[in-house]
């Protein structure tokens, strides 16, 4: 599995999948330490003020992280189901090809070929 940085959203990664025309965005959940640093007041404050700020701001941050984690779980389920359906379809196609006689397989392969022309040749 390959992760590449996304130019669309900072802190997210695109998961390159067998369905590369439909990349799945996996959110990067911040660590607890980073959450606490974001919530904690920057100025020197008393312990009561720090605790009050944590109690005030931390639930909203935790809700946001929980939403991102649920989205990541949904994206993971979506990716696994798409990949599973793709593998089932490929397996059915392979079984169908194995059951075909040689002449039919040859005709099927020829029908799948795309004619290529020389772009430098005169028309």
Domain count for the chain = 1
Whether the full predicted model's pTM is greater than 0.85, yes or no, is no
Which residue range(s) make up the domain with 16? 3-102
> What is the H or E stretch that residue 88 is in?
helix 47-99
Mapped onto helix, strand or coil, the DSSP state of residue 121 is: coil
Structural domain contains residue 120: no
Structural domain contains residue 109: no
Say what the pLDDT of residue 53 is: 81
How many distinct helices (H) and strands (E) make up the chain? 3, 3
Structural domain contains residue 12: yes
**Residue of 42 and 99 predicted with greater confidence:** 99
Whether the pLDDT of residue 103 is over 80: the answer is yes
Question: Average pLDDT, whole number, for the chain?
Answer: 76
From residue 107, give the alpha-carbon distance in Å to each of 89, 113, 117. Answer: 21, 10, 21
């Amino acid at each position: 599995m390959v992760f590449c940085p996304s130019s669309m959203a900072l802190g997210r990664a695109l998961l390159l999948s067998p369905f590369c025309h439909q990349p799945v965005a996996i959110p990067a959940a911040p660590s607890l330490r980073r959450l606490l640093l974001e919530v904690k007041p920057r100025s020197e404050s008393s312990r009561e003020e720090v605790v009050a700020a944590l109690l005030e701001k931390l639930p909203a941050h935790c809700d946001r992280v929980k939403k991102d984690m649920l989205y990541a779980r949904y994206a993971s389920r979506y990716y696994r189901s798409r990949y599973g359906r793709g593998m089932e379809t490929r397996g059915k196609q392979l079984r169908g090809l194995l059951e075909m006689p040689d002449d039919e397989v040859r005709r099927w392969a020829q029908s799948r070929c795309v004619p290529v022309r020389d772009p430098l040749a005169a028309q």
